[in-house]
Structure 1
Amino acid sequence: MLSKNRPMNILYVHPVNINYPGGSERLVVELLTRLRQRGHKVGVLHAKWIPHTYEVSDNSSELLRNDIKLYECNCVKFKRGFPIVNPSYIIKLSKNYDLLYISAYAPNELLIYTLRKLRMLNLPIIAVFHNMLEPHIDSLHKLYMAPYVVAYRNFDRLHVLNEFMYNLFVKRYRVDKSKVTLIPNGVDTTFFKLLSDTYSCEVFTVLYVSRLTREKGIDVFYKIVSTFNKRCNELKKHVIFKIAGFGPLVHYIKKLTNLYDNVLYLGRLSREQLLMEYNSAHALLMTSRIESMPLTLLEASACGLPVIASAIPGIIDVSKTVGYGVLVRHGDIEGYIKGITSLYSLWRNGEEEYHRIRIIIRQRTAVNYSWDVVLKKIEKMLIEVISNTTQKQR
């Protein structure tokens, strides 16, 4: 069995350029940096392809500063799905590592499965699901799930981030539950924390932090703000909406700022600026159509910020764990507005109770989602997978 004191040698494969400024990329960097700081050797193979964006992050420099090896490869990108990573890179690099840890971005799982069946890969494989699978509502997902399930059953472990995905594999697709591990994302609770007396006593602030895309529901956010300002004539004088983020659908935000005085666009913020915004706001609004385990929600919760959000997997998990959250059927504009007004009333009429809720959210987030807690679980999973494979090979 692999000793807990023996360093692991991990190759992480990410089919998107690691400098894409998304939550998944940020989480990969945070996890791998911490594993390296624990003494494990880490390499990252990522694709040159990056989705259309106005800005990129500096994730690669951060990885290199932490002595993590970085390999960038060419790829093939079809009309649908993610780029396919160059298989020759995976085959060559895998010979120097104990474990292959891959972001499950279709169709790369089928590539990895094929390489293993052809005996071109001879190391344990873990797939982590930063993206959601929705065969119950997405006809394309349902259509192509059969070959993917074959691949997933062949992997040594499936790392899922929420309860829905765990049940999908174990109950619907009958994957052996010993091969499916539910470990949520982590958040830096030493940095993101509840600061004292930072939110306004005069104006109620609703914060929206997201990429400005359809997937994140920016069109729904637009309808919420428009409807709220048209219907709530008195209340709108005491409520402001702040938007932090960027993306191809920024025109929705520009239109709102032109129409309403209580809408403020902050653009893309640094971590330090986000910390202050999470603390100065009174509610986080999330209108996503799909999430796995959103980093924004974890950061906001670490600062004690209550959420009004779509009732979808990932968000549901966090809300249940922290014990508070106004969950709304996605697209229910009236439901989101009711959530805003109810939180406003709680803050305006019972500030002590509102502050008590923020403290509870912060405490439960730290207990369940701090990197200290999450990293131990992930490290244990990695050691188990390597050890099990070593025992089988004897």
Structure 2
Amino acid sequence: MKRICFLYCMIFVFLLMPNIVGATQSRDDGLSQFMFGISYNELLDTGDIRSHKAEFLAGEEIQGVFEEYDTLLYDKKNGYMELHLDASPCDCPGKITAAAYAKRNGGYLFLRNKETTCIYRHVNGIVASEPITSYMPVGFGLQMFLPEHFSLPKNDEAAFFLTAEIPRQGTTTTLQLKQIPFGLYVPSTTLLIDDAPLALADKAKEVEQINDPQLSLENGSFYKTYHNIHESALIFFDPEQFNDEAYPTELPKKELQDMLLSGNLSAIGEKDRHILEKLGAYASSYPPITLEHMSERFRFFYMVYQVEQNLVWDTCTMEWDSVAGRFRITKKWLSRKKPASFLEFLRDADFWVAAC
């Protein structure tokens, strides 16, 4: 009797197996959902790709027009997608790559990277199907790029993001730390974001979180404000321009710079305050900037500069560990030149600008 019951149980499990397996999302479906929010079958019925459906299903490497202009390449064999943004809005071509990293337990990590030529308008970078803490090495964060003695300052705004070269074959992935263009506000308590956000031009509510009415996007005033801040910083920290002849301040120039970088503005007299706020209105057609606002932004610029000055490495290669379900770093190095001074840093930094 026990043998008969066991046999019936085994037959029951066997009959259910296809449904159990089907409940697990396939790599094709997972990658398609992650990239486009639609199933793999829906993707195959999209636009010009429909005419190449047989080739896609056969696993051939093929590309077809996706939507109106963009071109999609899907390497089914390797679980890799590449979407070329051939004619994206505002003439910002680029590409989005994505791949599935298999786990020993049968699941997948889906990783996507976006890069466009308009770095001054968008934050490019990686987005993953899981939180960064679950797929990166244990303890991964901005502090890993810095010496142990360097303490990250407390802040509520991100300054850096991650970008990746996702391989079409294998799992060797190159990761790089990059700076967010000044003017793109992304909330963060660690100065680092692991998801690429939309451009601020499309998310006015992010601007409102700064709690400054001057940072309204109406009539492009946000761009004008940040343009002013950049221009005033380039003058304020340049001794050749910020001199006694052009700006006859009562307090010494170095002392004023230290005050704005520390936020200690109470000792600045009316005459010097007027001069500095006039400096903030460098271009008369733009809205004026308060001294408090200038100081807050200058302090943020300087904080990012200090991080840049102390970076030990900014780029690494990683291999995927399918058993642990995490990447492990195999090599790391510093790929960019450190700025010689704060002024040089400001001159070379990317600033957000409005476009179309």
Scaled by the length of structure 1, the TM-score of the pair is 0.22
Structure with bigger gyration radius = 2
Scaled by the length of structure 2, the TM-score of the pair is 0.23
Higher helix share goes to which structure? Answer: 1
